Amino acid sequence: MSRKIVFGILGAIILVSAAVGVTVWVHNPVPPAQPSELQSLLASAGYKPLKIPDPDLGPGSIIKKIASENGAMRIEWVGTVASCQVPSNVLSPTPGGGLEIHSTTSQAYDGKAALQVRGVKAGANIDRVARVVFKVQAGGSEKLDLVKLNSWLSNPDNKLDPYCEKLLTERDLYLVRDAFAIGTGEIQAYDAAGAKVDLDASKDIVRVNGDVSLSSSSTISFSSKVYAGLKEAVLLNKAFSALGGGNSAAPGDKLSFEGVQTVEIARKP
């Protein structure tokens, strides 16, 4: 074998080895898990998943549609009927009758979604969390009883405060009647590379209190209600008037979700 051939073979081996070495060295990290089990269940039950969970968007909330584009609807949270001096027993949602979850169901959200759970506050280093996965252990549909509401409103002794009387004059406000609530669950935090984030208090990433605790160095456990899906909202002035004595509203009196895949909530600064 000639000297040129030998050197050629050795050179090829060196080049291949170097290439393999470089490939191993620049190996990309595994991206964080992005399960969508909850979103799939919500969609199959007729709910529009929220872009991130929200602690306030339950039955009795007053909302306003801002825009709908490319399958995403943006709504503004205006307030709640509870501020209209309507008693809490009238507004107490009726559980069940829809989607119910009693086994762990996972859903990935943007990292800031953890802050939507009451009792979770941002620490100085919250930006280390790029993604969170909610592991829902229990949750279910909640509906506002319009018959009960109309019965209370039909009593001449019951009066709304001036703020709510003014709201009834606005034509583009809706009353949330049916929403999906997460009752208990866990939240796992991940960084941009897909590694679990250590949430130990000394790291000052999140601060927890109330019905929230750190069950492990990277997992938050919670039992405070947060909403993840919206199914029905009725025009506020229609919900505050007779609806034929039933719990259903005419299609034209409901917020249309045609073509909508997700809902995003905005709040006034």
| Co-location of 24 and 38 in the same domain | no
Measured in residues, the chain has a length of 269
- 4 φ, ψ (degrees, to nearest 5): -65, -40
| Co-location of 23 and 143 in the same domain | no
| Co-location of 22 and 135 in the same domain | no
* 3-state SS class at 217: coil
| Co-location of 118 and 99 in the same domain | yes
Which residues span the domain enclosing 14? 1-28
Contact 133, 106 (CB under 8 A): yes
| Co-location of 256 and 183 in the same domain | yes
| Co-location of 112 and 19 in the same domain | no
Number of structural domains, the chain?
A: 2
| Co-location of 139 and 238 in the same domain | yes
Query: Residue 160 has what pLDDT?
Result: 83
How far is 146 from 40, CA to CA, in rounded Å?
A: 28
What one-character DSSP code corresponds to residue 91?
H
| Co-location of 18 and 138 in the same domain | no
Confidence of residue 206 (pLDDT cuts 50, 70, 90): very high
| Co-location of 19 and 152 in the same domain | no
| Co-location of 97 and 185 in the same domain | yes
How far is 76 from 93, CA to CA, in rounded Å?
A: 21
Query: Residue 159 has what pLDDT?
Result: 83
| Co-location of 217 and 126 in the same domain | yes
Tens-digit pLDDT profile for residues 61-112: 999 999 988 899 999 999 888 888 888 899 888 776 789 999 999 999 999 9
Query: Residue 106 has what pLDDT?
Result: 95
The burial class, CB within 10 Å (0-12 / 13-18 / 19+), for 154 is exposed
Residue type, 65: K
| Co-location of 19 and 125 in the same domain | no
Contact 22, 15 (CB under 8 A): no
Tens-digit pLDDT profile for residues 127-138: 999 999 999 999
